[in-house]
Chains A and B, each alone.
Chain A
């Protein structure tokens, strides 16, 4: 415990906790919507797209990768979330195709046009998060704070419309809600969260941040509002616990957070079973 307090004096540990909590909060807010819209796997697909975009940014030697990563991920999110209606390649197939395609191209580019002496290290770090969350600069922390607050504000502001679009798109259209616009909004927010979350848990584990808290909350509560609030609390607690455990015991940050999420899901499943 004393060791943990000593570690907390380091600025990069405090940055990690701030960013971790904010990302966990944002991902859980949107997680409920994505799970209910049957887009649980979109986090995985978009994170692979972000990985590919990051590889391109690396090849182009850009000091600020966000310039490439964020727009590319947003465009792909829009394409994926709009596939439901008028496309030949439907939902899960489109996600799988873009996901593995971006991953393969990203890795290929990183190998052929390598600008780093440690390609395997870079790949491993991007896929599994590694210690990226502990090596954030002040600029990255501020960017994350601003984007997270924007995401939370948009969600709260458009809560009713997002709720309507989530449960019944056709009904909300009939009621005069511009469903396409809100689907676009959800796609953009999802992309922003995915790009931010890559620092926390890496590409391969992002889906856990989106899915686990929402599913855990659904074991206990039934209403959209209760599930959303419970999901946010569980996600923040799991992220905080996971980061603290990984700092104290030297375990990999991303996988420790996901393990904490899985543990919380197990507890919620038990509570849900007892309630019935």
Chain B
């Protein structure tokens, strides 16, 4: 009885099954019944599971030698379909009110730039976005996943890239800095839906 109870509790599907158990069945009947149903369900789910690797991150290399990957999580804020004004303004807002964006996965399209700080022996990578007049620029620093090896997998300076990563704020010396962590560089596909 205990075994049956353990099997039946957990989520709503199991609760529904419990409701369908007849009072006239004994324990072994119930277990057999459940086992056969579970086997049927497993067989039904198998094709879906086998399809998963197709959507999982698949590293690829583009013409310039940059490693392209797919963002593993859901993207909360996608800036790739926006025009220059909107991207610039949204990034400006991220800098003005960073707390509202912490933990969100952001995808951004802009110009790749790299800076090496000798005093701290640290590399900074950023995606810079210019406004419509091209005189003002705002950008987001990003840290690529460990799959990327510097400098082979990184894009050439000044190239247009799409980066997706989790927004975070960290203390860099005296300054509060913004960063897209666990970031990946994605293939750019124009988003016409905005």
Contacts and interface: CB of A to CB of B under 8 A. Distances in A.
A199 interface: no
Given A7-B194, A247-B85, A250-B86, A121 B135 contact: yes
A131 interface: yes
B136 A121 contact: yes
A250 B136 contact: no
Nearest to A250: B83
A131 B194 contact: no
Interface string B141-178: 00000000000000000000000000000000000000
Interface residues of A, number: 26
A61 interface: no
Interface string A174-192: 0000000000000000000
A226 interface: no
B89 A252 contact: no
Interface stretch (B32-40, B68-76, B90-98, B179-187): B90-98
B6 interface: no
Given A3-B194, A137-B96, A249 B135 contact: no
17 contacts: A3-B194, A6-B194, A118-B137, A121-B135, A125-B135, A125-B136, A130-B131, A131-B92, A131-B131, A134-B86, A134-B89, A135-B89, A246-B85, A247-B83, A250-B85, A252-B133, A253-B85
A135 B85 contact: no
Interface of A: 2-3, 6-7, 10, 12-13, 118, 120-121, 124-125, 128, 130-131, 134-135, 137, 246-253
A82 B194 CA distance: 52
B111 to A, nearest CB: 15
Given A7-B194, A137-B96, A124 B133 contact: yes
A120 B137 CA distance: 11
Contacts of B137: 118, 121
B114 to A, nearest CB: 17
A248 to B, nearest CB: 8
B193 interface: yes
Nearest to B88: A131
B136 A249 contact: no
B83 A249 contact: yes
A250 B90 contact: no
Interface string B77-106: 000011111101110110010000000000
Contacts of A253: 85, 132
Interface residues of B, number: 20
Given A6-B194, A13-B89, A128-B135, 9 more contacts: A2-B193, A10-B86, A12-B89, A124-B133, A131-B132, A135-B92, A135-B96, A247-B85, A250-B85
Nearest to B84: A250
Most chain-B Cβ atoms within 10 A of its Cβ — which of A6, A125, A134, A247?
A134
A252 B86 CA distance: 11
Contacts of A2: 193-194
A135 B87 CA distance: 11
A135 B93 contact: yes
Nearest to B91: A135
B90 A246 contact: no
A2 B132 CA distance: 21
Nearest to B92: A135
A247 B132 contact: no
Contact of B136 (A13, A124, A137): A124
Contact of B132 (A3, A6, A13, A250): A250
The list of the 9 closest CB pairs from A to B, nearest first, reads A250-B83, A124-B135, A3-B194, A134-B89, A252-B132, A121-B136, A135-B92, A6-B194, A131-B131
A13 B92 CA distance: 13
A274 B88 CA distance: 44
A174 B88 CA distance: 56
